[in-house]
Structure 1
Amino acid sequence: MAALAAASLLLSAGCASEDGGPASSDGSPTPPAGSASSPAASSSPPAERPPAKGSVDVVSTLTEKLSSPWGLAPLPGGDLLVASRDDATITRIDGESGKKTEVGTVPGVSPAGEGGLLGLAVAPTYGADHLVYAYFTTESDNRIARLQYDESKPAGQQLGAPDTILRGIPKGFVHNGGRIAFGPDRMLYAGTGETGDTGLAQDEKSLAGKILRMTPDGEPVHGNPSADSVVYSWGHRNVQGLAWDKQKRLWASEFGQDTWDELNAIEPGKNYGWPEVEGEKGEAGYVDPVAQWKTSEASPSGIAYAQGSIWMAGLRGERLWRIPLSGTPGQEPSAAPQAFLEGKYGRLRTVVAAGGDTLWLVTGNTDGRGTPKQGDDRILLLKVR
């Protein structure tokens, strides 16, 4: 009965899953030409953007046979931590050999639908405190906790008890957000979803459908729109990608519903429109995306910045998008987005900068929506330019 109820909920949500809704046969990306902070400036047709020119080479497959991988966090020294959404485990991957060592299980995780153990982040102070942060779904909510990673203990028993720094993020069968990352300001950011309850995205008192900014202890940060709130921006449907460019500008990927997936330039206190608008509308009071895609071409999850571009992993779209940046607000993107690896590795969940011209890319074919191939899921090392 539980499975039937879950399926019924998903069907009643229609296009509410992370894979977006049905798209027209015209699946070409459409980059709006206006400033992310000034929707009215978006007047040039997409055709004026020249095509991007770049390349992606798969250097190697670091590791294979991962189960529902979601969050990925590099450790000092080059190894990686990867979260299993459905198993609630964190595994360490040797950055050279790909050897897998289970670190431990995060207690209290309740995986269902798009919930479970999601984003991971390593504290900027990891060298001193060995703290790892996790975003996960419980029976009652989504929350963020920090856990101490003690490498001296036996494998599988190296995680300390979760110290919850933020609780009460609304949960749903869909749209739980889940990406967390430390910014250049050493503060912790989190992307949340509106759980399928669209009104929460416009409710500034709710933590759902938001980008949050907090101290490492989970407290509001000076400079947030409201001094007593961790809410940084709102009007989001389901944010699963966070990254900063070399100018320390925050970028976020967002799932659309029927029509447009988005890449947004995030500014504090701005409203990104959902559910009042989807994609580029040029309506006063809402921020237009910098680039948008038909949902069949993207359904974006993780993003990373490297070599002057945002790189965006597509789930339903099964491709890696490059969005070249000019560095000048109002002139983004500098060229039309360019797709790579289309259909070659299936669903792509997470992409993380590995330094210089390299990226780590995590596939997502064992999440219940993909068609796993032999070896799935895997982490790939890419060289990009």
Structure 2
Amino acid sequence: MWCLIFGIKAIAQESIRIAHPIVGEVPQKVTDEYRPVVEGVKTSVWVENLTIPWSLKFLPNGDALVSQRPGSIVRIPSGTNSKETYLELPEVTHEVDAGLMGMDLHPEFGKNGWIYVMYAYRNVSSELTCKVVRLIHKGNTAVVDKVVLDDIPAYAIHLGGRIAFGPDGMLYIGTGDLANPYIAQDLTSLASKILRITPEGSIPSDNPFPNSPVFSYGHRVVQGFAWDPETGAFFNSEHGPSGAEVEGSVRYRDEINLVKKGGNHGWPLVVGAPKIPDYQDPIACWNLAAVPPGGMVFHDGDLFVASLGGQSILRLVLDRNNNFEVKKIERWFSYAPSRGIYGRFRDITVGPDGHLYAITSNTDGRAPLQLNDDRIIKIEITK
């Protein structure tokens, strides 16, 4: 096996177009439990008629902001369910999965009013690329302040898009492999990585690779970030292969990862959990059907993950005393794989009232439309 790994690594340095990953096992020892109705949980539709919403954030005053992939941010004033235009970004290029994506508030938003967004656009050479831009909040609207990071490789699919501030005050950025698998192993490329920069866009001195924003690599398509409030441990979600020939015809194996500084998460050399020391195994992955995860958040000690194709909210119960071993996985609001009550979910967060809020993603054309899609679903855990 080690000869095979060495051979794959050598080949990866060439312009090879087809990956043949080593396929590892599923790391969790539990079977998913489907919970179309969850005892002690109440759901209600809070906001309706959104257009491909991607990221949901609450302001300190209780207002909510929603980034929409075609290029706008809407504001839901506190105490209402109405939508108001907050900002239009005409530079955004909306093409398949590309567009306006991740959004987060600076940890000291109350002092500086800074909001960060990531979006795709066409540069002066008409090439699709991504940038992270800082906005300044102006009450009912915002203005563009500065470009924080530019020239992030982009493509119409597999471009990532999630951004979030970590507990260290640094901005983390998730990217994808642009349907070019081996770019994930190229440390000179920003594609298929988790990046880490300062709020001003510079490279932190304690990043793992000299003069590089790369924090970890070997990711296929990064879609979600969450930090455990009890331990500070860093997790990400990412999409697994689709069965395409360029990916060695391997399917599924979407992942939840415990992210390590400088860690190689294996794509496209390995998928799943082969227990090879050179690579970081996921804490959870799925091999029987697609469960592409989106945004995620910790709530009451558990990790909640929005699932797109799985059409559910995943609740993962983790054992913090045993390297975050997954003790239980529940699929809320889902009857079976890809059969959910609300359709696809893109993001999930905790509101100022302590309840969970999740946004659907059915207007992206990848699921049947439901009445008044897309929507924000309020999830109250009453038990």
Alignment partner, residue 127 of structure 1:
110
Alignment partner, residue 318 of structure 2:
325
Change (3 A) 1:292 1:310: same
Alignment partner, residue 20 of structure 1:
none
Correspondence 1:377 to 2:353 = no
1:91-148: CA deviation from partner (whole Å, max 9, x where unpaired): 1112421121111112311110110000111112221221110000011311101011
> What secondary structure sits across from 2:311 in the alignment?
coil
1:330-370: CA deviation from partner (whole Å, max 9, x where unpaired): 3512x131111111000111011226852110000001212
Greater fraction of residues in strand = 2
Q: Aligned letter for 1:69?
A: P
State percent identity of aligned pairs. Answer: 35
> What secondary structure sits across from 2:154 in the alignment?
coil
Tell me if structure 2 keeps the 8 A contact 1:187–1:216.
Answer: yes
Which residues of 2 match residues 298-337 of structure 1 at below 5 A? 298-333=291-326, 335-337=327-329
- Structure 1 segments unaligned to the other structure (5+ residues): 1-15, 17-29, 34-45
Q: Aligned letter for 1:309?
A: D
Report the Cα distance in structure 1 between the residues aligned to 2:191 and 2:54, rounded to whole angstroms.
Answer: 20
Q: 1:265 aligns with which of 258, 266, 286?
A: 258
Q: Aligned-pair RMSD on alpha carbons?
A: 2.2
Q: 1:240 aligns with which of 220, 223, 239?
A: 223
> What secondary structure sits across from 2:289 in the alignment?
helix
> What secondary structure sits across from 1:161 in the alignment?
strand
Report the Cα distance in structure 1 between the residues aligned to 2:213 and 2:363, rounded to whole angstroms.
Answer: 33
Task: State the TM-score, normalized to the length of structure 1.
Answer: 0.82
Which residues of 2 match residues 211-230 of structure 1 at below 5 A? 211-230=194-213
Tell me if structure 2 keeps the 8 A contact 1:306–1:356.
Answer: no
Tell me if structure 1 keeps the 8 A contact 2:252–2:291.
Answer: no
Report the Cα distance in structure 1 between the residues aligned to 2:369 and 2:285, rounded to whole angstroms.
Answer: 28
Tell me if structure 2 keeps the 8 A contact 1:239–1:252.
Answer: yes
Change (3 A) 1:31 1:351: farther
Say which is worse superposed, 286-295 or 166-175, in terms of deviation: 286-295
Correspondence 1:170 to 2:153 = yes
Q: Aligned letter for 2:363?
A: T
Count of aligned residue pairs for this structure pair: 337
Tell me if structure 1 keeps the 8 A contact 2:27–2:272.
Answer: no
Change (3 A) 1:94 1:59: farther
1:274-331: CA deviation from partner (whole Å, max 9, x where unpaired): 0011111112301110011237351111111111111111111101111111223535
Report the Cα distance in structure 2 between the residues aligned to 1:117 and 1:368, rounded to whole angstroms.
Answer: 17
Tell me if structure 1 keeps the 8 A contact 2:32–2:331.
Answer: no
Correspondence 1:251 to 2:239 = no
1:133-174: CA deviation from partner (whole Å, max 9, x where unpaired): 0000011311101011212xxx6xx33135111011110111
Q: Aligned letter for 1:32?
A: P
Task: State the TM-score, normalized to the length of structure 2.
Answer: 0.83
Tell me if structure 2 keeps the 8 A contact 1:359–1:382.
Answer: yes
Report the Cα distance in structure 2 between the residues aligned to 1:148 and 1:283, rounded to whole angstroms.
Answer: 45
